[in-house]
Amino acid sequence: MQSILIEKQNRSRAKASGIALIGYRATGKTTVGEKLAQLLQYDFMDMDTEISKREKSSIEEIVRKHGWKYFRKIESTLLGELATRNKIIISTGGGIILHEQNRVTLRKHFFVVWLKASPETIKKRLAKDLDKQEQRPPLSGKDLLHEVDEILEKRLKYYKETAHFSLSTDMLSPTNVTEQIIKRFKEKVENA
């Protein structure tokens, strides 16, 4: 039974025609995604940016007006559209893995890379970004920096379940992360 599961997972990887970057906020998904797209000559899409563009509102405004459930529905619809495209790198929202169908879609259609960082690193990066206009709203009643540990713990099993490969961005430059992903992508997908 175990070998059948592994074989199915390998087949789904072989069908992947792009890379999906998953992980918590401030782990480097957009920065790395842009570099990957440039080096592989693939299209790039930051899903949060695309949702904001389509809705003509920031993520914060969308959530304030319509709630997280509405946002997650739009996110799932966009993922379904992207799953039909070839040669694309996507930077997902951190919570995309909360819905089972999204996890299935990601694994089936993409080589999924989980970019990880320690809670301490995430908090440092978020603190630097607090002055930015386009800050995503907190997911809990706590402020953005205090919710990191709680939300990470809730999502950990879903990130593990969804990813084909994971990589810590704590001590690596975006260039190093990009190089490692390309190496793994070529080994597991293009040469499958």
In the 8-state DSSP scheme, what is residue 84? T
Give pLDDT, residue 71: 94
| Sole residue written with tokens 């299935």 | 104
Whether the model clears a pTM of 0.75, i.e. scores above it, the answer is yes
| Structural domains counted in the chain | 1
Contact 24, 114 (CB under 8 A): no
With tokens 């003509």, the residue in question is 56
Question: What pLDDT, on a 0 to 100 scale, did the predictor assign at position 3?
Answer: 33
> How far is residue 38 from each of residues 86, 142, 182, 187, measured CA to CA in Å?
15, 37, 12, 19
- 168: burial class by Cβ within 10 Å (0-12, 13-18, 19+)? middle
Ordered DSSP codes for 35-77: HHHHHHT-EEEEHHHHHHHHHTS-HHHHHHHH-HHHHHHHHHH
Question: 155: domain CATH number?
Answer: 3.40.50.300
Asked whether residue 81 is assigned to any structural domain, the reply reads yes
- Cα 95 to Cα 24: distance, rounded to the nearest angstrom: 8
Look at residue 137 in the predicted model and tell me its pLDDT: 53
> Which residues, 6 or more positions from 49, have their beta carbon under 8 angstroms from its beta carbon?
none
Q: What pLDDT score does 126 carry?
A: 82
* Residue 4 domain-assigned (yes or no): no
Range of the domain at 45: 14-190
What is the helix (H) or strand (E) element at residue 21, kind and residue range?
Answer: strand 18-22
- Contact predicate 126/25, CB 8 Å: yes
Asked if residue 32 belongs to a domain, the reply is: yes
pLDDT for 178 equals 97
Residue 8 placed within a domain: no
Residue 149 placed within a domain: yes
Report residue 48 as tokens: 């949060």
In a domain, 9, yes or no: no
In the DSSP assignment, the letter for residue 83 is T
pLDDT at 5: 34
Residue 43 lies in a domain: yes
Domain membership of residue 101 (yes or no) is yes
- Residue 11 has a pLDDT of 41
Q: Which residues of the chain have pLDDT under 50?
A: 1-14, 133-134
